[in-house]
Amino acid sequence: MHGILKHNLFCKDMTVQYDSRLRERKYGAAEGKPLSDLRNMAKEAGEECPFFTPPGGETLDQVEMRGKQFFEFLCQLIMKEADQKQQLSPGAPSNNLETSLAETFPLETNYSSEVNSDSGAPGLVASVLVVSHGAYMRSLFGYFLTDLKCSLPASLRKFELSSVSPNTGISLFIISFEKGKEPTPKCVCMNLQDHLNEVTKTLSV
């Protein structure tokens, strides 16, 4: 996390905020043990590993509830700060963060037209980097897809929806807000690892 901020052009001086709701799923009796042990425990219980809850561990519903609570808290915080900034500086121009995101993650044509500054649509009010763990993020994404009806890019393959993010995987969502309604997420990419291509090339030389 600190390494990411160090090399970020926009947020290098920001303070990292820690939240216990972002911790990995608690695995109880399987905590700290090899994945093979968890699989064996699930097999003995007659259950599939991803859905198995070890003794003393968190259920998937409990993990999803943590994710939902964190997401709702984050949305409320963003809207509160956005309102405060609007009151202090009404009509102030936005920074070029939205342009930078668009260059890094080219969006589909239909989305690009929605956020075009000439359209009168509200711009990007916050860019939030959330760092967590694979099982937790998969559960949070499941909430986005099932409860919030998150729209997906056409290039996303079906098996990716239930895959655990690899180490350093990047997922990008654009969240739209409308008063009186639930947030609307739009997935730009999920579990992306393209940023490691140059590292892989360097290591193979």
Residue 115, in any domain of the structure = yes
Contact 127, 97 (CB under 8 A): yes
pLDDT digits (tens, 9 = 90+) for 67-94: 999 999 999 888 888 777 777 765 554 4
| 198 burial via Cβ count (<10 Å: 0-12, 13-18, 19+) | exposed
**Is the residue at 119 inside a domain?**
yes
Tens of pLDDT along 106-140? 444 444 444 444 443 456 677 888 999 988 999 99
6-48 confidence digits (pLDDT tens) = 666 666 667 788 999 999 999 999 999 999 999 999 999 999 9
Burial of residue 115 (number of CB atoms within 10 Å: 0-12, 13-18, 19+): middle
- Provide the residue range defining the domain that includes 113: 2-13+60-204
- How many domains, the chain? 1
Q: Are 173 and 127 in contact (CB under 8 A)?
A: no
In a domain, 18, yes or no: no
In a domain? residue 35: no
Does residue 153 sit within a domain? Answer: yes
pTM > 0.75: yes or no: no
CATH number at residue 95: 3.40.50.1240
